[in-house]
A and B are shown apart, each in its own frame.
Chain A
């Protein structure tokens, strides 16, 4: 009985999809909220970034949980998808969908596109390999410092602004985030159904909230490159 024996069960596989998905969705929500700090200016965003880096081992625990969740989510989804294709070998000549939305029918494709987007995003902002010229340190004086010591920290604000000033990079992010939104539209309510939380008095609300939350996340995230392109944020870096 290895760890991956859950894959033999249809329902346990779905439950792994739901739990790993829930972890990733929670991360996306926190990440979105963190990103919005850019509207509070350079100092706030850079302090937040420095705070995250100061977490040390906790940051690594979060990273490991996220990476494991993503790996399990991907492996399980691909296994389920192949089985599902196999279970419907002949397609209908005429097929009319009654309830299945565009977002639910394209989960595997939006999922793979999200994976590509995340890889690019990590190369861009985390490993900083795609645009190393945007990487600057910031020298600052802490507000509560007793001495006039000058500290150095990573200038996230400048990196983000310089990155999004490039319309092509902004476009990739806007499209990527919209694809994430499609994925989440189906994903969030699906998680509740799979984990067994579906009663008639609240499930319609969960479905509406799923779409609503996906839209809110998309608007919050795409507002950042748009504001930077329009010069509303980061004008005087």
Chain B
């Protein structure tokens, strides 16, 4: 396959950045998108040029490290698929492909296609956990969870925190990510004691990080490589409203 790539190159966060065009003649259909970039980088290194910087880790579609906005869609055109699991057979011979970093104010570009997604880590630190004593795992059946709730919790917990929702959102909003993290606890008994405090703290941190607001475009859910539903945003809105009129809100406001 012959491919023409327009790749965003940016030296560092202060650089303005620009597109550079590369031609690859020896792309094999079975390569993943990242393997295709590996081939490009080998070629660039051989030519004595700076290779393209991009994020990756597991390359199995489960870690959330890879990113890239490919032809205007985060993680590319294949539905429910991360960039590392996107294969070149999804493209045609002679295709022109535009590769950009995930764009949002809260995700500053570090270099080329790598963005700083540590804002997500700080949102998790704000409340994306349950407080329990560590030790031996308790008897699994001592707390019963209805099947429906377990399914919903698992659907939300599929989130790998890749940031595609933010990248896809015209407002650069992180609502789907925060909603998924809030919801997977909200559906389980273990999440109940801190339920209100959690949603208040995580949404507060989300705003501090400079993410946008939700306009219900539903781009996030469509771009999510794990197919997380926007109905979790509705659940978070409901939880947030309830929490705003609770005792926990007073406690939370004092701490702030």
Binding site for B on A (CB under 8 A): 9-15, 80, 83-84, 86-100, 104-105, 107, 186, 189-190, 192-200, 203
Binding site for A on B (CB under 8 A): 6, 19, 69, 71-73, 98, 100, 103-106, 168-173, 203, 206-207, 210-219, 221-223, 229-231, 233-238, 240-241, 244
Which residue on A lies nearest to B19, using beta carbons?
Answer: A93
Whether B170 lies near A197 (C-beta < 8 A) is: no
CB < 8 Å: which of B169, B210, B216 contacts A193?
B216
CB < 8 Å: which of B212, B222, B235, B237 contacts A15?
B237
With A88-B171, A94-B72 as given contacts, are A104 and B233 in contact (CB-CB < 8 Å)? no
Whether A14 lies near B213 (C-beta < 8 A) is: yes
CB < 8 Å: which of A87, A97, A107 contacts B172?
A87
Minimum distance in angstroms from A226 CB to a CB of chain B:
32
Whether B234 lies near A193 (C-beta < 8 A) is: yes
Chain A to chain B: the 8 pairs with minimum beta-carbon distance, closest first = A196-B238, A87-B212, A198-B234, A96-B72, A98-B222, A84-B171, A87-B172, A100-B217
Residues on A with C-beta less than 8 A from B72 are 92, 94-96
Whether B216 lies near A10 (C-beta < 8 A) is: no
Residue pairs across A and B with Cβ atoms less than 8 A apart, 24 shown, are A10-B203, A13-B213, A80-B213, A87-B106, A87-B210, A87-B211, A88-B103, A88-B105, A88-B171, A91-B103, A92-B69, A93-B6, A93-B19, A93-B98, A94-B98, A98-B219, A100-B170, A100-B217, A193-B216, A195-B238, A196-B235, A198-B233, A198-B234, A203-B231
CB < 8 Å: which of A99, A192, A203 contacts B217?
A99
Q: Contacts A11-B236, A92-B103, A100-B217 given; 17 further ones with Cβ under 8 A?
A: A9-B207, A10-B213, A11-B237, A11-B240, A83-B212, A83-B213, A84-B170, A86-B210, A87-B105, A87-B172, A87-B210, A98-B168, A99-B221, A194-B214, A196-B234, A199-B231, A200-B231
Whether B244 lies near A9 (C-beta < 8 A) is: yes
Which residue on B lies nearest to A100, using beta carbons?
Answer: B217
Which residue on B lies nearest to A190, using beta carbons?
Answer: B216
Whether B237 lies near A105 (C-beta < 8 A) is: no
CA–CA, A20 and B245, complex, Å: 19
Tell me the number of A-to-B contacts counted with CB atoms below 8 Å: 131
Minimum distance in angstroms from B225 CB to a CB of chain A:
13
Which residue on A lies nearest to B243, using beta carbons?
Answer: A11
Which residue on A lies nearest to B238, using beta carbons?
Answer: A196
Minimum distance in angstroms from A161 CB to a CB of chain B:
40
Minimum distance in angstroms from A169 CB to a CB of chain B:
33
Residues on B with C-beta less than 8 A from A203 are 231
CB < 8 Å: which of A11, A86, A89, A105 contacts B170?
A105
Which residue on B lies nearest to A87, using beta carbons?
Answer: B212
CB < 8 Å: which of B215, B218, B238 contacts A84?
B215
Minimum distance in angstroms from A225 CB to a CB of chain B:
32
Whether A10 lies near B105 (C-beta < 8 A) is: no
With A10-B214, A99-B219 as given contacts, are A84 and B229 in contact (CB-CB < 8 Å)? no
Residues on A with C-beta less than 8 A from B212 are 83-84, 86-88
CA–CA, A98 and B230, complex, Å: 14
Residues on A with C-beta less than 8 A from B215 are 80, 84, 104, 107, 190
Minimum distance in angstroms from B149 CB to a CB of chain A:
13
Minimum distance in angstroms from A207 CB to a CB of chain B:
9
CA–CA, A88 and B19, complex, Å: 19
Whether B213 lies near A84 (C-beta < 8 A) is: yes
